[in-house]
Chain A
Amino acid sequence: MSMLNSTENLGIPVEIGAIDGELKKLWEAGDASTNASLMNFLVYTEDPSRLQENSQTIQELTRENACRAVLIAMNRKATDVKVESWITAHCHLAHGKKSICSEQVSFLLHGKSLGRLRNTVFAHLNSDLPLVFWWQGEFSELFEERLYRLLNRLIFDSSDWADPKIGFRRLLEARSDTKGGMVTQDLSWTRSYFYRLAVARLFDDPMAHKAFPEIEGVRIKAQSKHRIAALLMLAWVITRSGWSVQCQETDRVILESLEGSEVVVDLIWDDEGAPISELEMSAPNFKARISREAGNSHLCQSICAENHVADFSGPADDDDSAGLVASQLSRGGKNSLFLNVLPQFMELLEGGD
């Protein structure tokens, strides 16, 4: 009997040794469906109660990202060592015609057993397809070299971490071990994607462009839970602008611009607003502002300069992790911009106490 309240989303319970055979039967039974897979997508959590929710997330993600999904939940507190497993398929109609299906294998691992996570992962991958690993929560000691050396892409959400400094140090270590071969994607970084696009868009405007060297203030408002997202976005602004950090207090950073002038950054925490609810950059007679109301799917973008006001709307990033992961998967790439920003971010992170 499983420790989960319900296993209905997970599909048919199967013996771990019979998974391949049962999956084959699953496809033989379906007559109008196509099994599609572009990647192995592995979701790992050390919170077993998330297994059901993760299965629902995969149901959504497979609409646009056909994959072999492997869900693993680890109940490390259990005293007995045992494994429960399930199989299912998520099917979606493509253009109202053919049913496109992605198969899913779920595991609930109980107790501690050396190398079991790694071995479970390796035993259930589709050969040759890339391995995308979504690690939920803190990097535990199970995040080890023999596992992450084989990952093509690691997705994580640093907003889940109690101590981001430890988490990012661990990440940098892993990147060094893999000699940069593993693409890393922090959902806290993804959260600011459309904000960054909007900043770039606003500074295409000749008036904004002209005012850029005179910027003297930056204001970022975000939920306190998303402090890392705010810092990552700030690190991006600093890196792209060529500014340097002069001094840093908890929620205020003093920067020096390329022209030698002072830029004051204020970080404001608003738990009622959107994850990131505002980014404002101001100069004398100029203001560029991007904002988002909680629950709104658009960013409001505006420029206010002498004799010149412009307002636009643009898309906003998803609030939930599943939506952010879907965006990441559809964009692909090496995420090199994140890596470029990481040193500046680490400086802000380490200096923020």
Chain B
Amino acid sequence: MNNPFREDLVSRNLAEACSVVIFGATGDLTHRKLIPALYNLAIDGELPAGVKILGFARRDWSDEFFCEGLEDSNRKVSRTGHDEEIWESIAANIEYHKSEFQDKDGYKRLSDRLDEIDRERGGKGNRLFYIASAPEYFDDILLNLKEAGLSQERPHCDGCWSRVIVEKPFGTTLETAQHLNEVVNGTFEEKDTYRIDHYLGKETAQNILVLRFANAIFEPMWNKEHIDHIQITCAEHLGMEGGRGGYYDEAGALRDMVQNHLLQLLSLVAMEPPTDLTADGVRDEKVKVIRSLRQWDTPELVAENVVRGQYVAGNINGKEVPGYRDEDRVKSDSETEAYVALRCMVDTWRWSGVPFYVRVGKRLPKKATEISVHFKETPSVLFNAMPGGVPTGNVLVIRIQPDEGISLMINSKLPGTTLRMEAVKMDFHYASSFGKSSPEAYERLLLDAMAGDATLFARRDEVEEAWRFIDKIHKAWADSAEQLPIAEFPAGSWGPWEADELLAKDGRTWRRL
């Protein structure tokens, strides 16, 4: 029997009470994102009763020490502030579980403790395992969970579930991603596997589907007949602060950002209408887009369609910043790209001939992630036949972060007796129109995982198809390093001129953000 009081109360899948086990619980992600997300869900009354949080990590910490650190961090970063009473009710349900990730006994003790919690709770023992550790431990954690019987259905516990959330990076190549998928799917069923991409939890990313499919004016024009090209930009003004150079120098912009976040955004923009809004309904359409990406699989094609770059010393906001190779924990002869620009082609009927330009980089002038849809110009009659023509084609901009919102550039007559036109902007800002702050991406995603809704998580085939596309570019870079050199650009500029050339040869320019 369902809980009768739940029905009709909220128009979303019901998040169920569970024990949340966080692997790598002493890390930054747990302190800055996961616990504040759970806290804010409690503040909004969304967190199911009886949620237990177990932090699993190697350091020799006590429950109290662990909790105090989480509390300190929550005070600093929680979007709704810190309320003692609510925090106390959460803190009473937080425990620390010390164990090495390879120590089988640690998992046995975890299993015993989870059983005990289930008994205390009086029955149903749902478990949500969140793997937030360093990626080299993913295999150990998953295999040990399986061996301890924590990933399987439990007899005498009807309707109980065990789910796993896996943080990025989900592999570093197609081969490692396939291996990780084998391990994950050998441990948990695909329906219980949640590969997190926090971009999909952002309000504006979710709004892409609403914008496209809940507004009759856009969808008829969302195709090659009306759209000239699409740009996706993810600019970051930061460099390698906070020790991130070590990880980043191994990964690079293409693997760190394009393989997951930007291809996910691209697939939301380019997908066909799904038959329904179920997780597989949406993901079936997204994966078709990634599968339809034209493969850049020779050095010549990569040279023509991809630009990689590194920043050299420059300044941002009046402050001198070092070049990429001089950054903390970055190799002085590093060949890793801190900037990449791509020209992607989606070979479907809808998008034939429409380029998707994607760029991402560190130490660019400002932090901004956006998608801009550039519509075709009007025919060369009437206003376009006049000297100067129409100032610009229409551009629809979906801003993902910061300042989430949507704007539309349209041409308008300037006041006066002569016919002069100027582009004007119709602008919608989430922050201005809805004063209420949006939930953090992790709030939505954790709640969805507790509710069994995988719509905003990547499926196995999506991840592997994205790696297939990315790997070919990497292989070309590795095989033909001389033919495909790393372009340089001063920190604080909008990237190398080679990236400008990528568009210039198509008669286009990057949007000025």
- Please measure, in the bound complex, the distance between the C-alpha atom of A210 and the C-alpha atom of B124, giving whole angstroms: 11
B: contact size bracket: 35 or more
Given the contacts A205-B122, A206-B123, A209-B1, A94 and B43 also touching, CB distance less than 8 Å:
no
In the assembled complex, which residues on chain A have CB atoms less than 8 Å from the CB atom of B14? 204
A201-B49, A204-B16, A314-B45 given as contacts; is B89 within 8 A of A66 (CB)?
no
Whether the Cβ atoms of A200 and B9 lie closer than 8 Å is yes
| A92 contacts B by Cβ under 8 Å | yes
Report whether B121 and A242 are in contact in the complex, using a CB–CB cutoff of 8 Å: no
A199 CA / B14 CA spacing, docked (Å): 14
Q: Given A94-B435, A301-B49, A315-B45, does the pair A240, B7 have CB atoms closer than 8 Å?
A: yes
B432 at the interface (CB under 8 A from A): yes
Q: Determine the main DSSP class of B at the interface with A.
A: loop
B317 neighbours in A (Cβ, 8 Å) = none
For the complex, what is the distance from the CA of A76 to the CA of B303, rounded to whole Å?
79
Residues of A within 8 A of B49 (CB): 201-202, 204-205, 301, 303, 310, 312
Q: Can you name the residue of chain A whose Cβ is closest to the Cβ of B118?
A: A206
Contacts of B6 in A (CB 8 A): 200, 203-204
Q: Answer yes or no: B12 CB below 8 A from chain A CBs.
A: no
Say whether A313 contacts B435, CB under 8 Å: no
Q: How far is the CA of A267 from the CA of B304 in the complex (A)?
A: 77
Most buried by A among B5, B50, B83: B5
Binary A-proximity of B1-18 (CB < 8 A = 1, otherwise 0): 101111111010010110
Report chain B residues within 8 Å CB of A333. Answer: 11
Q: When chains A and B are docked, how far (Å) is the Cα of A207 from the Cα of B17?
A: 12
Bound together, the chains give a CA A207 to CA B122 distance in angstroms of: 6
CB pair A313–B50 under 8 Å, yes or no, is: no
Determine whether B436 belongs to the interface, using a CB cutoff of 8 Å to chain A: yes
Q: How large is the interface on A (under 10, 10 to 19, 20 to 34, 35 or more residues)?
A: 35 or more
Contact A65 B435 (CB under 8 A): yes
The docked-state distance in angstroms from the alpha carbon of A109 to that of B83 is 45
Please pick, from A66, A199, A204, A337, the residue contacting B432 in the complex, using a CB distance under 8 A: A66
A residues 279-314 in Cβ contact with B at 8 Å:
297-298, 301, 303, 305, 307-308, 310-314
List chain B residues, Cβ under 8 A from A240. 4-5, 7-8
Is A196 a contact of B9 with CB atoms below 8 Å?
A: yes
Interface pair A308/B43, CB less than 8 Å apart? no
| CB within 8 Å for A196 and B5 given contacts A205-B50, A207-B123 | yes
One digit per residue, 1 when the CB lies within 8 angstroms of any chain B CB and 0 when it does not, for chain A 118-133 equals 0000000000000000
Q: How far is the CA of A237 from the CA of B4 in the complex (A)?
A: 9
Q: Once bound together, how far apart are the Cα atoms of A63 and B431, in whole Å?
A: 10
Tell me how far the C-beta of B454 lies from the nearest C-beta in chain A, rounded to whole angstroms. Answer: 21
- B-chain residues with CB within 8 Å of residue A196 when the two chains form the complex: 5, 9
Give Cα A241–Cα B45 distance, bound, in whole angstroms: 22
A98 within 8 A of B: yes
Residues of chain B within 8 A (CB-CB) of A94 are 429, 431-432, 435
Cα–Cα distance between A298 and B43 once the two chains are bound (Å) = 9
- Report yes or no: B123 in contact with A210, Cβ–Cβ below 8 A: yes
Is B122 in contact with A315, judged by CB distance below 8 angstroms?
Answer: no
Chain B residues closer than 8 Å to A297, beta-carbon distance: 83
- Residues 203-259 of A contacting B (Cβ, < 8 Å): 203-207, 209-210, 212, 237, 240-242
Closest CB in chain B relative to A20 CB, distance in Å: 19
Tell me whether A36 is interfacial, beta carbon within 8 Å. yes
- Residue from A62, A198, A303, A336 in contact with B8 in the complex, judged by beta carbons closer than 8 Å: A336
Asked whether any CB of chain B lies closer than 8 Å to the CB of A172, the reply is no
Q: Across the interface, which residues of A come within 8 angstroms of B436, CB to CB?
A: 64, 330
Whether B17 contacts A204 by the Cβ 8 Å rule is: yes
With A38-B433, A95-B431, A209-B3 in contact, do A197 and B121 touch (Cβ < 8 Å)?
no
> Hey, which chain B residues are within 8 Å of A314, CB to CB?
42, 45, 86
Evaluate contact between B3 and A337: CB separation under 8 angstroms: no
Distance from A144 Cβ to chain B, minimum over Cβ atoms (Å): 32
**Roughly how many angstroms separate A247 CA and B11 CA in the complex, as a whole number?**
34
Q: From B5, B11, B92, B124, give the contact of A200 (CB < 8 A).
A: B5
B482 at the interface (CB under 8 A from A): no
Q: Please, which residues of chain A bring their CB within 8 A of the CB of B88?
A: 313
A56 at the interface (CB under 8 A from B): no
Cα A310 to Cα B44 in complex, Å, equals: 19
Given the complex of chains A and B, what is the CA–CA distance between A305 and B50 in angstroms? 14
Is the CB of B434 closer than 8 A to any CB of chain A? yes
- Tell me the complex Cα distance, A202–B89, Å: 14
Q: Which residue from chain B places its CB closest to the CB of A100 in the assembled complex?
A: B432
A206–B122 Cα distance when bound, in Å, is 6
CB-based contact B50/A340 at 8 Å: no
A34 at the interface (CB under 8 A from B): yes
Complex contact A206–B124 (CB within 8 A) = yes
A129 to chain B, nearest CB (A): 11
* Contact indicator B433/A315 (Cβ below 8 Å): no
- Cα A62 to Cα B14 in complex, Å, equals 31
Contact residues in A for B435 (Cβ distance below 8 Å): 62-66, 92, 94, 100
Check B85 for interface membership: any CB of A closer than 8 A.
yes
- Is A194 part of the contact surface with B, judged by Cβ < 8 Å? yes
Chain A contacts for B433, CB-based, 8 A? 36, 38, 66
B residues within 8 A CB of A199?
5
- Write out, one digit per residue, whether chain B residues 30-67 have a CB within 8 A of any chain A CB (1) or not (0): 00000000000011110011100000000000000000
In residues 171-210 of chain A, which contact B (Cβ within 8 Å)?
Answer: 194, 196-207, 209-210
**Are B3 and A313 neighbours in the complex by a CB distance under 8 Å?**
no
Q: What is the bound-complex CA distance between A63 and B433, given in angstroms?
A: 10
Chain A residues, Cβ within 8 Å of B276: none
Cβ of B120 within 8 Å of any chain A Cβ, yes or no, is yes
Cβ of A315 and Cβ of B44 under 8 Å apart? yes
Question: Given the complex of chains A and B, what is the CA–CA distance between A210 and B122 in angstroms?
Answer: 10
Instruction: Name B's A-contacting residues (CB within 8 A).
Output: 1, 3-9, 11, 14, 16-17, 42-45, 48-50, 83, 85-86, 88-89, 92, 120-124, 429, 431-436
16 A-B pairs whose Cβ atoms sit less than 8 Å apart in the complex = A64-B435, A66-B432, A94-B435, A100-B431, A196-B5, A197-B9, A201-B45, A205-B122, A206-B123, A206-B124, A207-B121, A297-B83, A298-B85, A303-B49, A314-B45, A337-B8
Task: For the A-B complex with A203-B4, A330-B436 known, give 4 more contacts whose Cβ atoms are closer than 8 Å.
Answer: A201-B45, A207-B121, A313-B86, A330-B434
